[in-house]
Amino acid sequence: MLKILITDGIDKETMYNLRDMGYEVIEQFFEPDELKEKVKKFDILIVRSATKVKKEIIDSALETENLKMIIRGGVGMDNIDVSYAEAKGIKVRNTPKSSSQTVAELALGHMFTLARFIGIANVTMREGKWNKKYYEGIELFSKTLGIIGLGRIGQELAKKAYALGMKIIYTDVLGPNKVCFNYTFVSLDQLLADSDFISLHIPGNEKESPLIGETEFAKMKDGVYIINCARGNVIDEDALLNALNSGKLSGAGLDVFSEEPSKNLKLINHEKVSVTPHIGASTKEAQKRIGEEIISIIKENF
Of all residues in the chain, what percent carry a pLDDT higher than 70?
100
Predicted confidence band of residue 76 (pLDDT cuts 50, 70, 90):
confident
Clarify whether residues 62 and 131 are in a common domain: no
Q: Kindly indicate the confidence band of residue 127, based on its pLDDT and cuts at 50, 70 and 90.
A: very high
Q: What is the pLDDT of residue 186?
A: 98
The answer to whether residues 243 and 186 belong to one domain is: yes
> Of 72, 110, 270, 278, which is the active-site residue?
278
CATH, residue 121 = 3.40.50.720
What pLDDT is recorded for position 49?
A: 87
**For this structure, is 270 an active site residue?**
no
pLDDT digit string, tens, across residues 275-295: 999 999 999 999 999 999 999
> Average pLDDT for residues 66-74, to the nearest whole number?
96
Give the contacts of 56 (CB within 8 A, at least 6 positions apart).
Answer: 32, 36
pLDDT, tens digit, 9 for 90 and up, residues 207-246: 789 999 999 999 999 999 999 999 999 999 999 999 999 9
Query: Which tens digits make up the pLDDT trace of 49-60?
Result: 899 999 999 999
Range of the domain at 148: 100-275
188 and 134 together in one domain: yes
151 and 167 share one domain = yes
Do 31 and 148 fall within a single domain?
no
* 87 and 230, same domain (yes or no): no
- Residues 159-185, mean pLDDT to the nearest whole number: 96
Same domain, 110 and 244: yes
Q: Is the domain of 86 the same as that of 148?
A: no
Long-range contacts of 116-122 (CB under 8 A, 24+ apart): 118/274, 119/274, 120/271
Q: Is 289 a catalytic residue?
A: no
Q: Are residues 156 and 247 in the same domain?
A: yes
Residue 244's pLDDT is what?
98
Residues 139 and 174 in one domain: yes
Whether 24 and 146 map to the same domain: the answer is no
Distance in angstroms (rounded) separating the CA atoms of residues 120 and 145:
23
Q: Alpha-carbon distance 83 to 253, whole Å?
A: 32
d(CA 29, CA 24): 16
Instruction: Identify the active-site residue in 13, 260, 271, 285.
Output: 260
Domain count, the chain: 2
**What span, in angstroms and rounded, lies between the C-alpha atoms of 240 and 197?**
15
pLDDT at 207: 74
Residues 179 and 110 in one domain: yes
Starting at the earlier edge strand, list the strands of the sheet with 249-254. 184-185, 167-171, 144-148, 197-200, 224-228, 249-254, 273-275
* 231 a catalytic residue: yes
Name the band, by pLDDT with cuts 50, 70 and 90, for residue 205: confident
Q: What is the 3-state secondary structure (H, E, C) of the chain?
A: CCEEEECCCCCHHHHHHHHHCCCEEEECCCCHHHHHHHHHHCCEEEECCCCCECHHHHHHHHCCCCCCEEEECCCCCCCECHHHHHHCCCEEEECCCCCHHHHHHHHHHHHHHHHCCHHHHHHHHHCCCCCHHHCCCCCCCCCEEEEECCCHHHHHHHHHHHHCCCEEEEECCCCCCCCCCCCEECCHHHHHHHCCEEEECCCCCCCCCCCECHHHHHHCCCCEEEEECCCHHHECHHHHHHHHHHCCEEEEEECCCCCCCCCCHHHHCCCCEEECCCCCCCCHHHHHHHHHHHHHHHHHHC
User: pLDDT tens for residues 109-120?
Assistant: 999 999 999 999
Contact present, 178 and 155 (Cβ < 8 Å): no
Flag whether pLDDT at 163 surpasses 80: yes
CA distance 231 to 233: 6
Catalytic residue among 110, 231, 270, 289: 231
